[in-house]
Amino acid sequence: MAGRPKIFDEHEVVAKATEVFRDKGYDTASAEELLHAMGIGKGSFYLTFKGGKKELYMRSISQFSDHFYQKISESLAASDNKIQFLKRFFLNIANTAECDKEPGCYLGNALVQLSEKDDEIKKITAQMLKKLQVLFAETVRNAQENGQITSTEDPELIGWHLSNFWNGIHVTKRMESSPEILKGIIEINLKILD
C-alpha cells in the first residue's frame, strides 16, 4: 500500500518554514509553529521530512541559498555595469533596517549559529560562500580585462575577499545597526573594486 498522495507543494511549504526560521532561529522555532506556518499535519511532515526539523532546516537553507544565488547571478548578468551592481549589492546591506529582511542575514546566521555544530549545515553554507566567491571572481576578472577597474590584484583573491566580507558584514550587522557606520565599513572594503 503506497499511502495517501501528497497534496502540497514541497517547495512552497519549505518557503513557509523558512519564514519561521528567519523570525525565530533554528533553536527556538517550535514544531507547532512550523506545522502551522506550513499548513500540514504531523503525519505529512514526517512522511516528507524523515529527518524532522533538522532536515527541514537544511532544505530551507539549500532552497533559500539556491534562490538567493540565482537572483544575484541573473541580476548581475542583466546589469550593464557589473562592478556598480556589485557595489550597490553590498551597499544595500547597510540600508536594510532589519537584518531579518535582508536575505544574506538568514544565510549568515545559519553559518554563524549552526555550522560549527553540524557538518551538513556547514557544508551547505560553505558551498554558498564558494559559489559567491566564484561569481565575484568572474565579475572582477571580466572587469579587469575590459578596463572597468584598475585593480591588478588576483581576481580569485578579490572574490574570496568579497565573499568573506559578505559573510562578515552580516555578522557585524547583528551587532551594529547604524546605516552610516555600516556604509562606511562597506565603502572601505569596496575600494578593492576601484
Q: Quick one: pLDDT at residue 114?
A: 64
DSSP of 108-154? HHHHHHHTTT-HHHHHHHHHHHHHHHHHHHHHHHHHHHTTS----S-
Q: Quick one: pLDDT at residue 1?
A: 39
Q: Quick one: pLDDT at residue 6?
A: 61
Question: 99-143 pLDDT, tens per residue?
Answer: 555 556 777 667 666 666 778 877 887 888 899 999 999 999 999
- Joined together, the cell numbers standing for residue 40 give 500540514
Q: Quick one: pLDDT at residue 98?
A: 58
- Joined together, the cell numbers standing for residue 27 give 533553536
- Check: pTM over 0.75? Answer yes or no: yes
Q: At what angle do helices 179-190 and 155-173 cross, to 10 degrees?
A: 170
Positions in the chain whose pLDDT score sits under 50: 1-2
Q: At what angle do helices 179-190 and 82-95 cross, to 10 degrees?
A: 160
Count the Cβ atoms, other than its own, within 10 Å of residue 54. 14
Q: Quick one: pLDDT at residue 80?
A: 92
DSSP of 161-182? HHHHHHHHHHHHHTT---HHHH
On whether the CB atoms of residues 72 and 89 are closer than 8 A, the answer is yes
